[in-house]
Amino acid sequence: MTFWTGQLNEPYAFEANVGFYDTTLRDGEQTVGVVFSPEDKLELARGLDELGIERIEAGFPRVSADDRRAVELILAAGLDAEIWGFSRAVDADVKALVELGVGASVIESPISRLKLEALGVDREAMLERIVYAVSFAVEQGITVAFFGVDGTRADPDYFETVYKTAVEAGAQEVVVVDTIGIATPEAVGDLVGRTREWVGPDIPVHFHGHNDFGLATGSALAAAREGARWIHGTVNGMGERAGNANLPEIALALRGLYGIETNLRLDRVRAFSGRLRELSGYALEPYKPLVGDNLFRRESGAVASQFHDPPAIEPYASEVVAAERGIVLGKKSGIDSIRLKAEELGLDLDGEAERNLLARVKELGARKRGLVSDEEFRELARG
């Protein structure tokens, strides 16, 4: 892979072994208005598997018959990824996982004062629920990652007690959860580090973050720096409110800025992202990192003059994410834009024709308040 990020980041490099836990099929589907059919989820699970995602959360079977069916289909698909379920600290949820033959699952429970008060459950009662659900799941042969909902707003002493108790009850892994996306990257790093100390070196720690303040990627990177083994998230950053941490963006940052390799296939993300958009009904900003349509398209004349030298105008090669580079025309075009587009379209123009055409392209682009298409460019050149 070719990155042109310079030397500025080198003092901040770190070593990490980071795996990805994808929750597009559950947390991603919680995006307002999104409904995936069981067959959609199977298709997406296969796509996630091809991306190199190591763990796929197939869903929460007790939500509906369709969700249960989706978990069945994904379990039977023979994917390379580990298939995980999702459960509350509720007996019936765990039994549903057992019935389906799910071998690993997150077990979640609210632990902040705000959440507990909203539910009308006191701390001790919730602790008892956690112990019962975790121990029951482990007795049934399920690998459990305890997931303390709203953990970043929980009382630190209670957080420590809950996580230690969950591990004593049999949880083999734990998840630090920023449910409302309120933690700064510095705070996330600190909490992940303290959690690792509390649960001991043999218990992998995950991080699950939301993007309400636009910090989910930064927080995930901070978690990785402090030893988080698994990072949760979705593709396209789908999820409730402002969405979840965006796994491909995290993988890109780890590789391009910190030199940390992951198993995620960056060259396949754009195609999968496009299909996910089709199934979800949501478009993305054209300037979205990694998958945006505009990342390697250039309208500005000043930039077009350097188009022949990608390292001068781009942080990494388009091949990294299997994107195509190109010149587009509009109000901001320059003479180099006209020359490059004419060469691309096989048009033979002299200097005067290029200058005249530039003026007409800029006028049309301003009038349209948008781009000038290749066909419009040809018409202007003919006229």
Question: For position 382, what pLDDT does the model report?
Answer: 87
Instruction: Tell me if 99 is assigned to some domain.
Output: yes
Name 265's Cβ contacts closer than 8 Å, sequence gap at least 6: 50, 51, 52
Do 194 and 247 belong to one domain?
Answer: yes
Residues pairing with 118 in the sheet: none
What number is the average pLDDT over the span 21-29? 98
Do 186 and 229 belong to one domain?
Answer: yes
Do 241 and 302 belong to one domain?
Answer: no
Angle between helices 91-100 and 65-75 (to 10 degrees): 40
Instruction: Tell me if 7 is assigned to some domain.
Output: no
Q: Domain total for the chain?
A: 2
Range of the domain at 112: 16-280
Do 361 and 242 belong to one domain?
Answer: no
Helix (H, G, I), strand (E, B) or coil at 118: helix
Q: Checking DSSP bridges between strand 143-149 and strand 104-110, what pairing results, if any?
A: parallel
Do 202 and 351 belong to one domain?
Answer: no
Residue 262: pLDDT band by 50, 70, 90 thresholds?
very high
Question: For position 78, what pLDDT does the model report?
Answer: 97
**Dist. CA 204–CA 159, nearest whole Å:** 17
Do 262 and 346 belong to one domain?
Answer: no
Q: Which of 280, 308, 341 is the last residue of a domain?
A: 280
Do 275 and 321 belong to one domain?
Answer: no
Instruction: Tell me if 260 is assigned to some domain.
Output: yes
Question: For position 1, what pLDDT does the model report?
Answer: 67
pTM above 0.85, yes or no: yes
Instruction: Tell me if 292 is assigned to some domain.
Output: no
What number is the average pLDDT over the span 303-307? 91
Instruction: Tell me if 286 is assigned to some domain.
Output: no
Does the pLDDT at position 197 exceed 90? yes
Chain-wide mean pLDDT for the chain?
Answer: 96
What CATH number has the domain bearing residue 238?
3.20.20.70
Q: Per-residue pLDDT tens for 33-92?
A: 999 999 999 999 999 999 999 999 999 999 999 999 999 999 999 999 999 999 999 999
Do 26 and 55 belong to one domain?
Answer: yes
Give the DSSP letter string of 68-98: HHHHHHHHTT--SSEEEEEEES-HHHHHHHH
Question: For position 383, what pLDDT does the model report?
Answer: 73
Do 46 and 89 belong to one domain?
Answer: yes
**Dist. CA 298–CA 217, nearest whole Å:** 26
Do 368 and 231 belong to one domain?
Answer: no
Question: For position 335, what pLDDT does the model report?
Answer: 94
Element (H, E) at 59: strand 55-59
The single residue listed with the structure tokens 């910090």 is 215
Q: Per-residue pLDDT tens for 119-152?
A: 999 999 999 999 999 999 999 999 999 999 999 9
Q: Which of 229, 254, 280 is the last residue of a domain?
A: 280
What number is the average pLDDT over the span 252-273? 98
What number is the average pLDDT over the span 10-26? 97
**Dist. CA 15–CA 261, nearest whole Å:** 10
Please give the residue that has the higher pLDDT: either 42 or 348.
Answer: 42
